[in-house]
Structure 1
Amino acid sequence: MEIWPAIDLIAGRCVRLQQGDYERETVFSDNPAAMARSFQDLGAKYLHLVDLDGAKAGKPCNTEVIREIVSAVDMQCEVGGGVRDEAAIETLLDVGLTRVVLGTAALKQADWFRQMCEKYPNKLALGIDAKDGWVATEGWLEVSQTNAVEMAKQFANVPLAAIIYTDIATDGMLQGPNVAAMAEMQQAVDVPVVASGGVTTVDDVTALSEAGLAAAIIGRALYEDTITLPAALAAAQ
């Protein structure tokens, strides 16, 4: 199982939110590129970036910082947050990202998202953020009437790079991931599912790996030392 350390960006700084709430923000670093290098030095091969300003604004806002991060490391990097049109996809891929994550646009413009996946095969990941199994959009500010697994199945025949599945209830809370929901999603689709939200301990990593998940994103737990990156990487093996 792959381990993707997370760097969430607001105003060019590395932050973490609790349950996606912009009022519950903790700043961990003013130098995200240095943070990325530290993850690489500890053995990480993958890096998950979130443009939180972009998620709110509906367009990428931290592109230059993302460019600095990608240039600073030799890792596979992905980014999500505010990617709602082809211009944003092109801009971010040109920065050197391995793949770009789309959520709100995929839900609200499914046919367009399919076209983009065909045009950029295995470069786009479907970001599904769910609360109690229902898809949330607009930077988690809205909860839709769309079931998360059913949404994923809509794109069964599309050349997706992955599905990034985030459980909002557990995100940033350091209380463990929703393993059952993650496993249900992985079993429902043929593409790699990346588990996001609540990964806190080595046991959490082991549980997700044993449940068959392709990858796990770890954020706050790394910053607050409830798990170390080497320990997470070892457990993932």
Structure 2
Amino acid sequence: MQVIPAIDLRGGLCVRLRQGDYDRETVFGDDPAAMAARWESEGATRIHLVDLDGAKAGSPVNVDSVRAIIRAVSVPCQLGGGVRDERTIAAWLDAGIERVIVGTQALRDPEWFRTMAETFPGRLILGLDARDGRVATDGWLETSNVTAPLLAEQFDDLPLAAIIYTDIARDGTLEGPNLESTGALCRHVKTPVIASGGVGGLVDIERLATLPVVGCIVGRALYEGNFSLTEAVARAGGSPSRS
């Protein structure tokens, strides 16, 4: 299982939100590129980027910060937040982002997302952010009536790189991931699943490693020093692959 450190960008800063609430923000650094370099030096083989301002605005905002991160590291980066059209996908891929995450627009326009997945095979990730089991959109500001497994199943035949599943109630907390819903989603689809939200300690890493997930995204626990990235990689089963 690959351990993927997260860098959430807001106003050019490295921040974390609690349960997706923009009014419950903690700033962890004013140099996201330096933070990315730190994670790489500690063993990261992939970095997860979120343009929080972009997710809210519906288009990229923290472009300069993302470009600086790409220049600062040699490991692949995946990015989500405000990806709503083909031009944005292509622009991020051209800029050096390896995988682009699409959430809101996949729910709003499934046929468009199918076309994009086929246009960029292996380069798109479906972002499934769920609140009480239902998919949230627009930077988690809105909640739909569509369940996460139903949306995932709808796209399971596409050449996606992965699905990132986030339980919003756990995100930005240290209360532990939702193992039940994450495991259920893994069993429901054949597309690789990356877990996100709630990792607070090394025991959470160990528990996730027992599920058929290919990776887990870790944020606040790393920034608050609950454990090191090196320790997390070891608990996940050794050096993760780049798949």
Alignment TM-score, normalising by the size of structure 1: 0.99
Q: CA contact under 8 A between 1:114 and 1:158: conserved in structure 2?
A: yes
Could you tell me which residue of structure 1 aligns to residue 131 of structure 2?
131
TM-superposed deviation, 1:71: 1.1
Match of 1:177 in 2: 177
> Who is 2:45 aligned against?
45
Percent of residue pairs identical? 53
Whole-Å separation in 1 of the counterparts to 2:126 and 2:93: 15
SS in 2 for 1:34: helix
Distance in 1 (alpha carbons) for counterparts of 2:6 and 2:47:
6
Q: For residues 161 and 173 of structure 2, what CA distance do their matches in structure 1 show? A: 27
2:86 corresponds to: 86
For residues 2-41 of structure 1, the aligned pairs below 5 Å read: 2-41=2-41
Residue 108 of structure 1 is matched in structure 2 by 108
Q: In 1, Cα distance between the equivalents of 2:64 and 2:190?
A: 34
Residue 92 of structure 1 deviates from its aligned partner by 0.7
Q: Give yes or no for contact 1:131–1:143 (8 Å, CA) kept in 2.
A: yes
User: Which contiguous aligned blocks of 4+ residues in structure 1 show a shift greater than 3 angstroms?
Assistant: none
SS of residue in 1 equivalent to 2:4: strand
Q: Work out the CA distance in 2 between the residues paired with 1:36 and 1:156.
A: 31
Q: Counterparts of 2:45 and 2:127 in 1: how far apart (Å)?
A: 20
Deviation digits for residues 143-202 of structure 1 (CA, Å, limit 9, x no counterpart):
110010010000011100100100000001111100111111111111110100001111
- Whole-Å separation in 2 of the counterparts to 1:132 and 1:2: 26
- The AA in structure 2 aligned to 1:2 is Q
- Residues 65-108 of structure 1 show CA distances to partners (whole Å, capped at 9, x for unaligned) of 11110111011100000000011101111110110000000000
Matched letter for residue 78 of structure 1: Q
User: How much is the aligned-residue C-alpha RMSD, in angstroms?
Assistant: 0.7
CA distance in 2 between counterparts of 1:132 and 1:231 reads: 31
For structure 2, list consecutive stretches of 5 or more residues without a partner in the other structure. Answer: 238-243
Q: Equivalents in 1 of 2:163, 2:211: separation in Å?
A: 16
Map of 2:235 onto structure 1? 235
SS state of the match for residue 35, structure 2? helix
**TM-score, with normalisation over the residues of structure 2?**
0.96
Give distance in 2, aligned partners of 1:208 and 1:132.
20
Q: Which runs of 5+ in 1 are unaligned?
A: none
Partner of 1:73: 73
Aligned counterparts of 2:189 and 2:163: Cα–Cα separation in 1: 9
The AA in structure 2 aligned to 1:178 is N
Which one-letter code corresponds to 1:214 in the other structure?
Answer: V
Task: Report what 2:214 is aligned to.
Answer: 214
Contact kept in structure 2, 1:8 and 1:52, CA below 8 Å: yes
CA contact (8 A) 1:199 1:205 kept: yes
Q: Is the 8 A contact 1:63 1:92 kept in 2?
A: no
CA distance in 1, matches of 2:47, 2:61: 18
Contact 1:77-1:97 at 8 Å conserved across structures: yes
> Does residue 151 of structure 1 match 2:154?
no
What is the distance in 2 between the residues matched to 1:20 and 1:194? 18
Alignment coverage as a number of residue pairs: 237
Q: In 2, Cα distance between the equivalents of 1:60 and 1:185?
A: 29
Residue 227 of structure 1 and its aligned partner are, at CA, apart by 2.1
